[in-house]
Amino acid sequence: MHTTDPPDAGIRPAAGGLPAELGRRLYRDMLATRLLDTEAIALQRQGVFPAYVSVRGQEAAQVGSAAAAERGTDFVFPTYREMGVALTLGVDMAGYMASHRALWHGGLYDPMASRFAPVNAVVGGPVPHAVGWAVGERLRGGGGCALSYFGDGASSEGDVHEAMNFAGVYGAPVVFICQNNRWALSVPNERQIAGGSVAARAAGYGMPGVTVDGNDAAAVHAATHEALERARNGEGPTLIEALTYRLEPHSTSDDPGRYRDPAEERAWRGRDPLPRLRRELERAGHAGAAFFACAEAEARADAERIRDAVSAAPEPPGTDMFAYVLREPTRELARQQRVWHEEVEA
């Protein structure tokens, strides 16, 4: 059985810690993500969600990076696991969770208003979209940057390589954020990442590659902020590899006991980013018992509200399958809709 060790060396440390208010905000968003994630797993167990992919253990990588984005200007391109990013950016979370309930492909929220693209379940799929948007943003003279999220498994997809090469050639204002959670479903890093590092590949695309401790919210935030500043100054893209760990199964249909050593999981649970940030805030004197109690109560109430909202959301009409495919329906699409009506009305 394969095991991996937690990262201890060769990664960029936090740049001077976090300002008090930023640290408290990151903690609140990480805690809210953790509690909502717990509710989502319960919804799947209750049959409300057909399936779900947990973000537990990756909250610092997601919240820390998303908090560095400029609201209303930058645009984020997620996979199917970026709950913490969505929450940090203020996305309507009941609408976001509608995708996990299979009510609507991509989510029932406004991507343009939230600057958070539709949930994308294609492995590596959002990365070319991010690069295309970034090039278009520069051509129109805008000041926004794209943030593209993907996992270590997706880093081996052709879409990702092509998108990074294109971004490097054209100097696109995009930040690639690889959450390396050590497992491409059941395949460990060394069996699908040649050279042992995703960040090392950046040199071949003419961009900086940065490796950070993905469980250190301050380090992730600092690296993302620096990369965004480079992009805004016309210095091109950056690849950030956030070393973290997926504490839960790949999805609710996965059994990690078939391929992961329990000792490895225990070691990484000891590096849980949420209590780690709490300890740092307490040591710095930035937060006390009253803050943590209030954050817990607010996050739990929000998680329960979102849970109830997505559970009670009505299913969309079947005609939506045809109404939002093309601006001008084709004859074939019209034929499919007629067949569907005949089958439903029969």
Question: 299-339, pLDDT tens digit by residue?
Answer: 999 999 999 999 999 988 888 888 888 889 899 999 999 99
pLDDT, residue 3, reads: 46
Specify whether the CB–CB gap between 73 and 143 falls below 8 A.
yes
Q: The pTM is what?
A: 0.91
| Of the candidates 107, 152, 151, 146, the residue with the CA atom closest to the CA atom of residue 130 | 146
* Average pLDDT, integer, range 55-81: 97
Token pair listed for 278: 């709490």
Catalytic residue among 138, 250, 286, 307: 250
Q: Among residues 34, 182, 246, 286, which one is catalytic?
A: 246
Q: Quick one: three-class SS letters along 202-239?
A: HHHHCCCEEEEECCCHHHHHHHHHHHHHHHHCCCCCEE
**Residue 9 CB neighbours (<10 A):** 4
Tokens 């090039």 — which residue? 135
Domains and CATH numbers, the chain: 20-315 (3.40.50.970), 319-346 (no CATH)
Q: Determine whether 52 is an active site residue.
A: no
2, 25, 259, 300: the active-site residue: 259
- Using the structure block, give the residue that is written with the tokens 């492909």: 105
- What letter represents residue 342's amino acid? E
> Which helix or strand (DSSP H or E) is residue 147 part of?
strand 146-151
Rounded mean pLDDT of 264-286?
95
The question of whether 250 is a catalytic residue gets the answer yes
Residue 85, token pair as written in the block: 């990013």
pLDDT at 12: 54
Give CA 243 to chain center in angstroms.
14
Q: What is the average pLDDT value for the chain, to the nearest integer?
A: 93
Active site residue 246: yes
Phi and psi dihedrals of 331, rounded to 5?
A: -60, -40
